[in-house]
Structure 1
Amino acid sequence: MTALPRILVPRTQLTDVDGIAVALLTVELWDDGIVLRLAGLPNEATQRMLDEHEHDMTAWAERRQQSPNDTSEAPPEEPGPLILNRINIGITDEHGTSYRMMTRRTGGTGTELRDELYFQPGMPKGTNHLTIHTSGSGLPENAIQVPAT
């Protein structure tokens, strides 16, 4: 039977992207990896982005309905990836463990401003804290320590 993960709940802001605060909600410590869950916090800017995206999707769907055989136009890009994928994220610890991002899932209907990142390997026993690093084009570099004990 697989052990359930330990879940750390830092609930702290990591960075800001174009006026949208992005928070680290949870850190899941699995035996074989680490999952970070982030969210763009709702505000007027995010609501405006979501409303514009809904409008653009409706217009795109109407054009597709009028010309069902014309597949040349891709659907409008979701706002979540436009914001969240600008953030480069890494993990370090006091042991110098080399954590590699394996997968990243961003956005989706109803979760447009959510981000889930999976890193390997799992955190070594005896680790006291993880440091989550953020950077990106036009973004400030930041690092926060998350106690792992």
Structure 2
Amino acid sequence: MTVIVWAPGDLIVASNEGVDVRLAGVELTSDAPVHHGAKPGERGVRIGLEANRNLETQHRDLAYLEAFEAWDAEQKLHGKGKAGSPPPMPGQVVLSAVKPVITDNHDTDYRCVGGQWAGTGTDWDGSWTFVPEPPAGVKHLTIEFTVNGDLTGKSCRVQLD
């Protein structure tokens, strides 16, 4: 179990392209994505992120729907595969640039092994998964956040039980 000891009061940890992004959760997990460098069964840390819905996200949703409908029409007109890839979901564009950096009181090297952003029903949600699981004796994790590699100045501390 994890307990957030300190964090921004509104949990906003980053802002990207006019969209505020908040911390949605920190969990220790056993399903780190193997295809991205984790070993089968390796446990890790998953950091959840969520966009703060606002007028900007509404505009992006509308632009995405219009682009998707145009792509779909092109695909129907010229056949599957001829229209190229569908447009990226707006949550993917915004959230994929926001990345956590994890440190602890044992100087563990946490490696990012996967991320997931946006999808049907989770349009503005995302997460990053890191390995290894915090080793025995680690009392807390400090999580800082970057946007396109630049620190946001926001962080949180999570106590481990």
TM-score range (shorter-chain normalised) is 0.7 to 0.9
Structure 1, residues 10-31: CA drift from partner, whole Å, max 9, x if none?
7722111122111111111236
- From 132, 137, 145, the equivalent of 2:143 is 132
TM-superposition CA deviations, 1:98-117 (whole Å, max 9, x none): 11111111111221211121
Matched, 1:107 2:118: yes
Q: Percent of counterpart pairs with the same letter?
A: 27
**Distance in 2 between residues matched to 1:15 and 1:124, nearest whole Å:** 28
Q: Comparing both chains, which one has the higher relative contact order based on Cα–Cα distances under 8 Å and sequence gaps of 6 or more?
A: 2
More deviation, 123-132/51-60 = 123-132
Which residue number corresponds to residue 38 of structure 1? 49
How does the TM-score come out when normalised to structure 1?
0.84
Cα distance between partner residues in 2 of 1:144 and 1:98: 18
The equivalent of 1:93 in structure 2 is: 104
CA distance in 1, matches of 2:69, 2:2: 39
Specify the SS of the correspondent of 1:141. Answer: strand
1:77 paired with 2:88, answer: yes
Q: Find the counterpart in structure 1 of residue 28 from structure 2.
A: 29
The answer for the alignment partner of 1:3 in structure 2 is none
Question: Would you say how many aligned residue pairs link Structure 1 and Structure 2?
Answer: 144
Distance 1:125 1:50 in 2: 44
2:62 to 51, 61, 73: 51
Give 2:16's aligned residue.
Answer: 17
Task: State whether residues 100 and 121 of structure 1, in contact with CA within 8 Å, keep that contact through their aligned partners in structure 2.
Answer: yes
Q: Within 1, Cα distance between the matches of 2:28 and 2:115?
A: 16
AA paired with 1:36? Answer: I
Q: Relative to 1, partners in 2 of residues 1:70 and 1:18: Cα closer, same or farther, differing over 3 Å?
A: closer
- Would you say the 8 A contact 2:74–2:83 is kept in 1? no
CA–CA separation in structure 1 for the residues paired with 2:24 and 2:2 = 10
- Residue 156 (structure 2) aligns with: 144
Structure 1 unaligned spans of 5+:
1-5
| 2:56 partner amino acid | A
- Partner AA of 1:91 in structure 2: I
Tell me the distance in 2 between the aligned counterparts of 1:70 and 1:19: 33
CA RMSD after TM alignment: 2.2
The separation in 1 between residues aligned to 2:104 and 2:81, in whole angstroms, is 51
In structure 2, list runs of 5 or more residues that go unmatched: 31-42
Offset of residue 136 of structure 1: 2.7
